């Protein structure tokens, strides 16, 4: 009953742009507080600096976006981020804007052609990067969709996988197992090596590169989470199916740890 009343109250308010800015500002303040009160370790930061103000495609799992925003902001990166047209996505776009990221609205399911066109245009300018969650906005979790590879194929920009984890966190019970970080903890971020996609790549090699990228990103997440002994995040969870199972009391719960 309370859940229904809260949803009825919250959803209309969330649609107001002014209220979205207020929530985004509060969220940004919290993220900065967490970031500055925590110890940071960034592996392979040289790669991140190498593509400062150069075209690159930074990819990260949907559930691991929270603490990447201040890293991008302090690195002085000029970047665009793909955002959903849903009101939640618009609020997240406002949050990203406060960290210096511009929004390109759409997804692989909604406005995919316009997103591809705008993303390619931004990368071809030569001084902007692109930030993409290849398993968003609705899953399947930890599965790389084709979007980032198409951007790389059409522009020559490298794909750079990035992931973070932290010691003290709350992994939310939702399809992407979104990780919220507590203050005064240790945050570790890994920046992967650039991956290039040839413009004349064959279909078979394209699929091979897609699987290679997925394997690299999953390995990043698994190794980071194992270091902090977190629960093992599953693959292939989808937002619609997960919500349905949760309503029925059958949503999968995190139960397995690395050790």
Question: Is 200 within the bounds of a domain?
Answer: yes
State residue 13's pLDDT score. Answer: 60
Question: Cβ distance 75 to 52 under 8 Å?
Answer: yes
Q: Is the model's pLDDT at 239 over the cut of 70?
A: yes
| Average pLDDT score, the chain | 89
CATH of the domain at 185: 3.40.1010.10
The pair of three-digit structure tokens given for residue 145, joined into one six-digit string: 């969709």
> Do 137 and 230 form a contact (C-beta atoms < 8 A)?
no
Residue 259 lies in a domain: no
Residue 6 is predicted with a pLDDT of 45
Question: What's the pLDDT score for residue 1?
Answer: 47
- To the question of pTM greater than 0.85 for the whole model, the response is yes
Q: Establish if 146 belongs to a structural domain.
A: yes
Domain that holds residue 146: 36-247
Domain count within the chain: 1
The stretch 147-159 carries a mean pLDDT of: 95
Can you tell me the distance from the alpha carbon of 97 to that of 87, in angstroms, rounded to the nearest whole number?
Answer: 15
On whether the CB atoms of residues 80 and 100 are closer than 8 A, the answer is no
Asked, for residue 111, whether it belongs to a domain, the answer is yes
Is 30 inside any structural domain?
no
**Residue 204 within a domain:** yes
In a domain, 18, yes or no: no
Is 220 a member of any domain? yes
Q: How many residues does the chain have?
A: 259
Q: What is the pLDDT of residue 2?
A: 41
Tell me the pLDDT tens digit for each residue of 25-47: 999 999 999 999 999 999 999 88
Judged against a pLDDT cut of 50, whether residue 167 lies above it is answered with yes
Q: How high is the pLDDT of residue 12? A: 60
């Amino acid at each position: 009953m309370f859940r229904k009343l809260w949803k009825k109250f919250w959803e209309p308010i969330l649609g107001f742009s002014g209220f979205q800015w207020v929530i985004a500002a509060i969220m940004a303040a919290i993220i900065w507080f967490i970031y500055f009160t925590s110890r940071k370790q960034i592996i392979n930061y040289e790669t991140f600096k190498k593509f400062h103000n150069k075209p690159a495609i930074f990819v990260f799992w949907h559930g691991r976006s929270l603490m990447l925003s201040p890293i991008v902001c302090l690195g002085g990166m000029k970047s665009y981020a793909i955002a959903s047209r849903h009101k939640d996505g618009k609020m997240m776009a406002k949050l990203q804007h406060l960290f210096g990221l511009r929004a390109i609205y759409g997804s692989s399911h909604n406005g995919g052609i316009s997103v591809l066109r705008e993303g390619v245009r931004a990368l071809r300018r030569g001084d902007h990067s692109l930030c993409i969650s290849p398993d968003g906005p609705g899953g399947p979790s930890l599965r790389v969709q084709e979007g980032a590879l198409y951007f790389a194929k059409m522009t020559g920009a490298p794909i750079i996988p990035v992931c973070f984890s932290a010691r003290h966190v709350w992994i939310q019970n939702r399809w992407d197992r979104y990780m919220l970080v507590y203050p005064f903890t240790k945050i570790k971020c890994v920046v992967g090596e650039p991956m290039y996609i040839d413009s004349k790549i064959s279909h078979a090699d394209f699929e091979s590169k897609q699987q290679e990228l997925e394997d690299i990103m999953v390995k990043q997440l698994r190794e980071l989470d194992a270091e902090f002994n977190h629960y093992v995040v599953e693959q292939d969870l989808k937002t619609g199916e997960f919500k349905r199972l949760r309503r029925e009391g059958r949503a999968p719960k995190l139960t397995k740890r690395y050790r």
